[in-house]
């Protein structure tokens, strides 16, 4: 009995000392984050995640280059000079962008560490606080182990490390849709989202480009008019080659699709913008619109003879049922392949760019020894930017070309 009471007295004294250490820690510490956050608490970091820092650095660089190029282009148009101002201000924009990247990614962990309460405290204070933290963590782990005996110490340690590590890189976050202008009609949410806003922007730019191209004039066409005429001739040649002269009646439809998709792809490269074609619901809606347009045109032009599309000529009768089944499945899968191709290419491209941008920032902020290695992912990011510009054009071209081919099947089902 005496040994039991002595043990309880020792436990009570130990708990009293622990409470005293905790109160001293709370009194001396100026910040409340001495203890690790709860397991269910959201992960926060004073410097932000590496991905957000990478996006900020990339946006600073791209913004400086775009602003410099815009100023140079405007100066050339104003003074009617050769592209001297454009080259000059473009180089200045690149220099400013590099400076912004260095300024944004400069490591500040050292200063924040020096300003922490633990670093400002003396050796005795540090020992007191570390003892309190260690005892507190041990108490929590003991309680968790008592509540969940099957839970191992290694699992608990990994969870605590993950909790204290800060936010993880999330390259999918850039594709989230959120309302820009909240609108509610009859208890229905019809808010204008970021996706709808950038679709309206793409439609407005398409109309502006076509209006400038249709304005014409007796003189030499300007750059914008020449670009609009080039796009017109490009799509017109594509429609003629894929659907013939009869397919030119659908030229406005194909041209609108091509220009809308191309501008949506290009707008997605602007910092803080939104890539509309990275949403499967958008690409699926466009693909289904083409699919049902082909069916309506085929039935309107040929009636039930449109079903000849599923019966190729010259096929032996004994394998005709198999061929018809394959043709029907191929026709019904057109919207799937038509939409997923555009969606997957844009999604994968932007995820890759964000991941490599995150590598650059993490290597720059890790220390002086790893800064030289940041050149490799930075060069890869520049190369991927050029590749994604090509992919943005190619995907718009492929979508429009497949539309022309499907319209050709509706106009000539027996061929």
Q: Is residue 24 part of a domain?
A: no
Q: Is residue 181 part of a domain?
A: no
> Which tens digit of pLDDT belongs to each residue from 297-332?
999 988 888 888 888 878 888 888 898 999 999 999
Question: Minimum mean pLDDT among 8-22, 220-234, 372-386: which range?
Answer: 8-22
What is the domain range of residue 344?
206-411
Query: CA 42, CA 50: separation in Å to the nearest integer?
Result: 17
Total number of domains in the chain:
2
Q: Is residue 180 part of a domain?
A: no
Q: Is residue 333 part of a domain?
A: yes
Grouping H, G, I as helix, E, B as strand and the rest as coil, residue 188 is: strand
Query: CA 295, CA 316: separation in Å to the nearest integer?
Result: 27
Q: Is residue 287 part of a domain?
A: yes
User: Are residues 219 and 99 located together in one domain of the fold?
Assistant: no
User: Are residues 80 and 212 located together in one domain of the fold?
Assistant: no
Q: Is residue 220 part of a domain?
A: yes
More confident residue, 400 or 96: 400
> Which tens digit of pLDDT belongs to each residue from 29-66?
655 544 555 544 444 444 445 656 666 666 677 767 77
Does residue 181 come out as left (phi exceeding 0), alpha (psi in the -120 to 50 range) or beta?
Answer: beta
Q: Is residue 347 part of a domain?
A: yes
User: Are residues 325 and 217 located together in one domain of the fold?
Assistant: yes
Domain end residue (candidates: 58, 87, 106): 106
User: Are residues 222 and 363 located together in one domain of the fold?
Assistant: yes
Query: CA 255, CA 241: separation in Å to the nearest integer?
Result: 14
User: Are residues 93 and 214 located together in one domain of the fold?
Assistant: no
The pTM (predicted TM-score) of the whole model is: 0.61
User: Are residues 366 and 228 located together in one domain of the fold?
Assistant: yes
User: Are residues 237 and 346 located together in one domain of the fold?
Assistant: yes
User: Are residues 98 and 218 located together in one domain of the fold?
Assistant: no
Residue 359 in contact with residue 52, Cβ under 8 Å? Answer: no
Q: Is residue 100 part of a domain?
A: yes
Query: CA 32, CA 162: separation in Å to the nearest integer?
Result: 20
């Amino acid at each position: 009995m005496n040994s039991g009471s002595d043990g309880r007295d020792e436990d009570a004294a130990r708990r009293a000392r622990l409470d005293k250490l905790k109160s001293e820690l709370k009194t001396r510490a100026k910040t409340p984050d001495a203890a690790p956050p709860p397991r269910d608490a959201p992960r926060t970091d004073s410097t932000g995640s590496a991905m957000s820092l990478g996006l900020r650095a990339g946006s600073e660089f791209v913004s400086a280059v775009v602003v410099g190029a815009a100023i140079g282009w405007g100066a050339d148009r104003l003074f009617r000079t050769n592209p001297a101002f454009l080259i000059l201000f473009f180089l200045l924009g690149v220099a400013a962008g590099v400076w912004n990247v260095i300024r944004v990614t400069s490591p500040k962990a050292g200063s924040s560490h020096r300003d922490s309460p633990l670093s400002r405290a003396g050796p005795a204070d540090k020992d007191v606080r570390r003892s309190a933290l260690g005892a507190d963590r041990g108490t929590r782990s003991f309680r968790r182990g008592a509540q969940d005996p099957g839970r191992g110490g290694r699992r608990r340690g990994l969870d605590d490390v993950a909790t204290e590590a800060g936010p993880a890189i999330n390259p999918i976050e850039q594709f989230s849709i959120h309302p820009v202008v909240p609108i509610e009609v009859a208890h229905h949410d019809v808010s204008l989202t970021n996706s709808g806003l950038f679709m309206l922007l793409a439609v407005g730019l398409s109309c502006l480009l076509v209006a400038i191209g249709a304005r014409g004039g007796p003189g030499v066409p300007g750059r914008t008019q020449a670009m609009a005429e080039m796009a017109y001739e490009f799509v017109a040649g594509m429609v003629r080659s894929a659907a013939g002269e009869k397919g030119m009646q659908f030229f406005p439809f194909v041209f609108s699709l091509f220009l809308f998709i191309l501008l949506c792809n290009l707008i997605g490269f602007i910092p803080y913008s939104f890539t509309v074609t990275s949403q499967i619901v958008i690409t699926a809606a466009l693909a289904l619109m083409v699919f049902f347009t082909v069916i309506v045109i085929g039935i309107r032009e040929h009636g039930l003879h449109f079903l000849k599309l599923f019966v190729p000529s010259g096929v032996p009768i004994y394998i005709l049922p198999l061929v018809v089944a394959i043709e029907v499945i191929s026709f019904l899968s057109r919207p799937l392949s038509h939409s997923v191709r555009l969606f997957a290419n844009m999604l994968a491209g932007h995820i890759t760019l964000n991941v490599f941008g995150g590598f650059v920032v993490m290597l720059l902020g890790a220390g002086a020894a790893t800064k030289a290695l940041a050149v490799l992912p930075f060069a890869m990011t520049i190369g991927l930017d050029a590749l994604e510009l090509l992919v943005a054009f190619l995907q718009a071209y492929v979508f429009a070309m497949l539309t022309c081919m499907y319209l050709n099947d509706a106009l000539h089902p027996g061929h």
